[in-house]
Structure 1
Amino acid sequence: MKTLYLLLSALVMTACGTPEENSVEKNNQNANEYVATWNSLAKHETPKWLTDAKFGIYTHWGISTVDYSRNQKDIARPETKDEEISAMKNSLEDFKAEKFNPKAWAKLFKEAGAKFAGPISWHGSPYIHWDSDLTPYNSVDMNPHRDIVGELQEAIYAEGMKFLMTLHASQHEDWLNICMDGINKYVPDLLWVDASFGETKGWRFINRTHFVGEAEMPEEPRALSDADQRTFIANYYNQALKKGKEVEFTYKSSDIPPCVGMRDLENGLMDQLYDTPWLTDVDMNICPDWATHGWFYREGIPLRDANNIIDMLADVVSKNGILLLNVPPKADGSFPVEVEETLHKVGAWLNINGEAIYNTTPWSLFGEGPTVINSNNNKFHHNDHFAQNKFTQKDIRFTVNGNNIYAICLGTPNDDQLCIKAMSSVLSLRKGDIENVSILGFPSFETKWCHDEQGLTVSLPDFENEQFAVVIKVTLSK
Structure 2
Amino acid sequence: MAAVAASMVAFGGSLTGSEIKTGPYTPDWDSIRQHPGAPEWFLDGKLGIYTHWGPISKANEFRPDHAYGRDMYDPKQDEFEYHVKTHGSQHEVGYKDLVSMFQPVEFDAEVWADLFAEAGARFAGPVAMHHDNFAMWGSEVTPWNIERTFGRDTCAELEKAIRARGMKFVTSFHHAYSWHYYRHAYAYDAGKPGNESLYCKPHAEDVGQKSPEAAEFCREWLAKLVEVINKYEPDFIWFDWGIAAMPEEPVLDFFTHYLNSAAEWDKEVIVTFKQNPKKAFPGDFTVMDHERGGHLELSDKPWVNDTSVGPWFYNAKFAEKGVVETDTLVELFVDLVSKNGCLLLNIPPDPLGRIPASAVRALKELGQWNKVNGEAIFETRPWVKAEEGDGKIEGKMRIKSAMTSSDIRFTRNKSGDTLYVITMDWPEGGNMQVKTLAKGRLDLGSVKSISRVDNGLDLAWEQNQDGLNIALGEQPETNFAHAVKIVFEEKIPKLK
TM-score using structure 2 length? 0.79
1:366, distance to aligned residue in structure 2 (A): 0.4
3-state SS in 1 of match to 2:101: coil
Counterpart code for 1:103: E
Corresponding position: 1:319 with 2:339: yes
Deviations 1:239-265 (A, max 9, x none): 111111110011111412120211100
Alignment partners' CA distance in 1, 2:268 and 2:453: 33
| Alignment partner of 2:250 out of 228, 247, 250 | 228
Distance apart, 1:163 and its partner CA: 0.2
Q: Distance in 2 between matches of 1:330 and 1:252?
A: 27
Q: Deviations over 1:104-151 (max 9, x none)?
A: 110110001000000000012232111111111111111x21112111
Q: 1:170 aligns with which of 178, 182, 197?
A: 178
Distance 2:300 2:276 in 1: 16
Distance 1:84 1:366 in 2: 55
Give the structure 2 partner of residue 202 of structure 1.
Answer: none
Q: Is the 8 A contact 1:84 1:125 kept in 2?
A: no
User: Is the 8 Å Cα contact of residues 38 and 257 (structure 1) preserved in structure 2?
Assistant: no
Residue 335 (1) aligns with residue 355 (2):
yes
SS at match of 2:34: coil
2:446 to 406, 410, 433: 433
Shift of the alpha carbon at 1:86?
5.3
Structure 2 equivalent of residue 49 of structure 1: 41
1:269 and 1:373 in contact (8 A); partners too: no
Residue 305, structure 1, aligned to residue 318, structure 2: no
Residue of structure 2 in register with 1:77 after alignment: 71
In 2, Cα distance between equivalents of 1:114 and 1:413: 29
Query: Take 1:5 and 1:360, find their aligned partners in 2: how far apart are those partners?
Result: 47
The change in CA–CA distance for 1:273 and 1:5 in structure 2 (over 3 A counts) is: farther
Q: Match for residue 133 of structure 2?
A: 126
Within the candidate set 374, 382, 391, 1:362 is matched to 382
Contact 2:272 2:287 in 1 (8 A): yes
**How much has 1:226 moved relative to structure 2?**
2.2
AA aligned to 2:301 is T
Aligned with residue 264 of structure 1, among 279, 286, 289: 289
**What aligned pairs does 1:312-461 form with structure 2 within 5 A after superposition?**
312-372=332-392, 384-401=396-413, 402=415, 403-427=417-441, 429-443=442-456, 445-461=457-473
**Cα distance change of structure 1 residues 147 and 307 upon mapping to structure 2, 3 Å threshold:** same
CA displacement, residues 443-464 of structure 1 (integer Å, 9 cap, x when unaligned): 4x55110123322110122326
What's 1:104 paired with? 111
1:276–1:106 CA distance, 2 compared to 1 (3 A): same
Partner of 2:304: 279
Matched residue of 1:179: which SS? Answer: helix
Work out the number of aligned pairs and report it.
418
Partner Cα separation in structure 1 for residue 12 and residue 367 of structure 2: 43
Task: Please give the TM-score of this superposition, normalised by the length of structure 1.
Answer: 0.81
What SS does the corresponding residue of 2:317 show, helix, strand or coil? coil
| CA offset digits 1:323-379 (Å, max 9, x no partner) | 0000111110011111111111000101100100110000110010112568xxxxx
* Cross-structure match for 2:233: 187
Q: CA RMSD in A?
A: 2.6
From the two aligned structures, give the one with the greater helix fraction: 2
SS at match of 2:428: coil
CA distance in 1, matches of 2:349, 2:20: 40
- Please state whether the residue corresponding to 1:415 is helix, strand or coil: helix
- Which residue identity is paired with 1:135? T
Deviation readout 1:153-188 (Å, 9 max, x if unpaired): 011011111000000142252322222222222220
How many Å separate the matches in 1 of 2:105 and 2:35? 41
> How many percent identity over aligned positions?
32
